Structure 1
């Protein structure tokens, strides 16, 4: 059984640009971002990659023609070998009717209603309907899938299945929260033996989306919605939320059934619908750290309150002791730790594919699990946690070819594995920044050790050096530390968590280590950590062990190998271009240690 999952639309960005003015920093405001493809063979995930890694357009919405092509090539198959084609959207005529009913019942003017009704009808017909998706697939690939082989998976069920599949397919409760799916923004339920039960009364409409509201605040603060929410999280550490918090006291309404609403519903057709309300709460916008951090802290507290309310209700509905949290809101790691610690669940997992980067995996897994030939034995055979290293890798010949393209500009030294670890560990005892490139590209929005920039967190100014000289981004942005899983509780107050391999949880740094790893400690005394094991990232783990032995410092800084506005590097040439365009000191490219010619002389 071969299942291909794919997400992306050729015309969605163009449509929202024409109809809603979603251009520039607003271009990711609604749906269709994070185009990708994934391939399952007999329940095993053999390939998955985001289109942005290949077409080099960050958060691209385009049809994933390169990602699909790579997945098929990686497996050595063609479209004729694929048994099921899975799409993580299910826009049916009934969904469109529901959206129309909501527009007609809204407080919009008749003129605005007429315009929006027309826009939604055109969006359905031209972009997201079953027929439009299949026509897009055929236009971009030359292949028209047999309708009997096609599965349209509701967006939130794809999210839930992503978490379930990647965590090893153990019975779990789930909460999905994001900007919007076909109609809803949150959904909760259970997955038992591969079958999903949705608690229908937990569904929250898109007009009350905490994810979209957080994106509106992101936009209000001058950042890119559906992309820069992590900047708002970073800013939140610079202030305490106001007391009383107007977001919590005046905008958010919690209901006894576990849902929440807003006193002023969102208008997803208006990118600035709540700007006046934000200024009413906080005063006219000021581009200052004091103002933006106060708004960010208030927004963060509101999101924490809303999701904790949902979890308390979910606890009453299920007897399962494992929680999966998926959707874009689940990437808000400031929320995840208190959400888990305040719950009765024994474990909570947030996958590396929690945002729309992972829904192609979930759609493919959902189609496989729903196939008549998939039973308990097949699920058991495939039931192991899946790591994030799923994308393209490059052999020695590809690396050497890329290096030849930079002849005269770089000097490369070929090392064996032990020499790489020893040389790089020695370099990291100094105030240097190193690009680290190995193995398959990681899936998801965060670099997890295969396409990373690493540095020694023991220097007070290393964060400023990386932000300004390498990443070209805001100085308030924090960096994540790598730490050995067995030593993590010694350095961080991890509460009930024992690991955090995907940077999805934030923990306080213990007092004894705050002065030892200042470059990896945020202003509020916390860190978003990545725990390492020998099984997960053997060479990077060996490097950290050696570095710790040399310095006594049990952490390394890890940030994504890219600059602001660009996707994480994928190929050796991508890595070399980023290396040459920044003040990165050294590059580890597979087993080659690379320096710039001017630095070598």
Structure 2
């Protein structure tokens, strides 16, 4: 059976801009963001890529035309050969009725209610309804799709199925929490014997979304919601844990059934006024580092308190040992680690597709009838485009007036040469194999550096990434070495950078570039099976330097998608102060002006 999952709306950005006044990247960040496609053949995910990697439009919500075409071409499949098409949103008529009831039940004035109904009606008719989704697919692909071959999968179910499939199946309790699905923002329950049971009494309505609340604080601090929440998480580490939290005292109410209510106005001017009152802030203070640290700490504490409340209820209601956590909130790796260590769960999984890229995978595996991943299916984030030597050489030739390159004999020689470069204070672009799927660079399209240099973070942030200097970087380490360097608690591996661990005291001075200000690190573990090229490089680097890990950050600059093609990599390399580019078997350097004839 062949199933194609996809996420994205052609009209999303236009409608959110016109109906709700969204501008810039915000137009892509409400529904359908992280547009992607994924292909499942006979029970295995064989290809998946985000549209942004191909279109080069960050966080795009557009219909993933290029991603769909690449997935099919990579597997040699035509549109007509696909058995089912799976879409991870299901705005049924029942959901539409609930949306209407929610608007009518608000305390808005009558004219404001009519205005909200008008805008929501246009959004539903032109974009969200089954008829609109079907028409969008036909127009963009030119394929005369049998309507019975289009499956609409509820958004939270798509999140859950992505996590369950990639975790290898089996019984587990689950929590899915994000900005919004159709009408809810968080659900919990259990997956037992392949059957999903939602604890409906613990579901949280969209109007009390924790993801939206965190996003509004993100905007209040001058960042982009649904995009920059990780900056707030990083800032929080610069301050001490709060003794009391006005958000929990005045904005959040926790309920005995595991749900909660968050009361924050929707209007930006109104919630800025509320936050100024709560945090003793104003437009001047919002620019001050110490104030931003304080507010970030309160926001992070709110997330940790609410998720701990949910997990307590889930533990009591389920009794299963393992926890699946999916949705945008699952990218808060600081909260993840505390959730696991402070709970009775013995295991917890957060997938590489936990945020909205993963719903394309989840919709596809659900529609394919998969509740558990087949034992022979490979779980890997390296599902995107790869490029053979001819493509690499063609790209290098196109930039021959600006770069030089040296070809290494084999994979081992590439590892040795790269380890030699990284032993010094060099920043290296690392481009190998298939593009990874999801928001993290996991060693296929990465920027690497030596964490033994205390100032290496500043070098990368300012000279390479062009981003805020307070941002930390993740260390990548061999799975076998990770427990020696990091206090990993209940985890034995962390392959997707979804957990944070303390750096053991004896290593903090040896890898200062990998330590955040609070002595922790967002760790990626790797082994030979997952990524042989990266594992080989780590072994060669450690043998040469006795440094047990490398810094790994995404191969891009602020505001740009992670690079995908050799040309993308060369453009980024030439636009930054990256010292070397290692692409396939070629070590690339920049020509100096004196080298140009």
Same fold (TM over 0.5): yes
Q: Report if the CA contact (8 A) 1:241-1:294 is conserved.
A: no
For residues 472 and 155 of structure 1, what CA distance do their matches in structure 2 show?
34
Q: Report if the CA contact (8 A) 2:25-2:59 is conserved.
A: no
Cα distance, 1:405 vs structure 2: 0.5
What is the DSSP-based 3-state SS (H/G/I as helix, E as strand, rest coil) of the residue aligned with 1:40?
A: strand
What is the DSSP-based 3-state SS (H/G/I as helix, E as strand, rest coil) of the residue aligned with 1:428?
A: helix
State which of 490, 497, 505 in structure 2 corresponds to 1:496: 490
Are 2:416 and 1:422 aligned? yes
Cα distance, 1:17 vs structure 2: 0.8
For residues 355 and 309 of structure 1, what CA distance do their matches in structure 2 show?
21
For residues 4 and 100 of structure 2, what CA distance do their matches in structure 1 show?
32
For residues 46 and 433 of structure 2, what CA distance do their matches in structure 1 show?
14
Q: Report if the CA contact (8 A) 2:251-2:264 is conserved.
A: no
Counterpart residue number, 1:145: 145
Counterpart residue number, 1:400: 393
Q: Report if the CA contact (8 A) 1:420-1:591 is conserved.
A: yes
Q: Report if the CA contact (8 A) 1:135-1:144 is conserved.
A: no
Counterpart residue number, 1:476: 470
1:265-280 equivalent positions in 2, closer than 5 A: 265-267=264-266, 270-280=267-277
State which of 279, 284, 289 in structure 2 corresponds to 1:282: 279
Cα distance, 1:291 vs structure 2: 0.6
TM-score normalized by the length of structure 1: 0.96
Counterpart residue number, 1:333: 333
Counterpart residue number, 2:406: 413
Deviations 1:443-478 (A, max 9, x none): 000100000000001111110000011000000000
Cα distance, 1:381 vs structure 2: 3.5
Q: Report if the CA contact (8 A) 1:330-1:350 is conserved.
A: yes
What is the DSSP-based 3-state SS (H/G/I as helix, E as strand, rest coil) of the residue aligned with 1:274?
A: helix
Q: Report if the CA contact (8 A) 1:216-1:225 is conserved.
A: yes
State which of 515, 535, 544 in structure 2 corresponds to 1:550: 544
Deviations 1:212-251 (A, max 9, x none): 1001111111111100001101111111243211112221
For residues 143 and 269 of structure 2, what CA distance do their matches in structure 1 show?
41
Gaps of 5+ in 2: none
Gaps of 5+ in 1: none
TM-score normalized by the length of structure 2: 0.97
Cα distance, 1:520–1:380 mapped onto 2, change above 3 Å: closer
Q: Which moved more, 1:475-484 or 1:591-600?
A: 591-600
1:215-364 equivalent positions in 2, closer than 5 A: 215-262=215-262, 264-267=263-266, 270-283=267-280, 284-285=282-283, 286=285, 287-364=287-364
For residues 84 and 290 of structure 2, what CA distance do their matches in structure 1 show?
52
Deviations 1:302-357 (A, max 9, x none): 00000111111011121321110000000000100000111111100000000001
Are 2:189 and 1:198 aligned? no
For residues 197 and 266 of structure 1, what CA distance do their matches in structure 2 show?
32
For residues 432 and 106 of structure 1, what CA distance do their matches in structure 2 show?
57
Are 2:122 and 1:122 aligned? yes
What is the DSSP-based 3-state SS (H/G/I as helix, E as strand, rest coil) of the residue aligned with 1:496?
A: coil
Cα distance, 1:534 vs structure 2: 1.0
What is the DSSP-based 3-state SS (H/G/I as helix, E as strand, rest coil) of the residue aligned with 2:189?
A: strand
Q: Report if the CA contact (8 A) 1:470-1:584 is conserved.
A: yes
For residues 122 and 64 of structure 2, what CA distance do their matches in structure 1 show?
22
Counterpart residue number, 2:63: 63
1:171-186 equivalent positions in 2, closer than 5 A: 171-186=171-186
Deviations 1:528-551 (A, max 9, x none): 010111111111111111111111
Q: Report if the CA contact (8 A) 1:28-1:227 is conserved.
A: no
Deviations 1:479-518 (A, max 9, x none): 0001111111111111111110000000111111111111
Counterpart residue number, 2:23: 23
Quote the RMSD (CA, aligned, Å).
1.4
Q: Report if the CA contact (8 A) 2:43-2:377 is conserved.
A: no
Counterpart residue number, 2:161: 161
State which of 502, 519, 526 in structure 2 corresponds to 1:525: 519
What is the DSSP-based 3-state SS (H/G/I as helix, E as strand, rest coil) of the residue aligned with 1:448?
A: coil
Counterpart residue number, 2:450: 456
For residues 67 and 131 of structure 2, what CA distance do their matches in structure 1 show?
22
Q: Report if the CA contact (8 A) 1:165-1:385 is conserved.
A: no
For residues 577 and 89 of structure 1, what CA distance do their matches in structure 2 show?
36
Counterpart residue number, 2:379: 386
Deviations 1:541-566 (A, max 9, x none): 11111111111110100000000000
Counterpart residue number, 2:532: 538
Are 2:108 and 1:111 aligned? no
For residues 489 and 269 of structure 2, what CA distance do their matches in structure 1 show?
39
For residues 360 and 271 of structure 1, what CA distance do their matches in structure 2 show?
31
Q: Report if the CA contact (8 A) 1:411-1:594 is conserved.
A: yes
Cα distance, 1:498–1:266 mapped onto 2, change above 3 Å: farther
Cα distance, 1:293–1:253 mapped onto 2, change above 3 Å: same
Q: Report if the CA contact (8 A) 2:12-2:27 is conserved.
A: no
Counterpart residue number, 2:460: 466
What is the DSSP-based 3-state SS (H/G/I as helix, E as strand, rest coil) of the residue aligned with 2:592?
A: helix
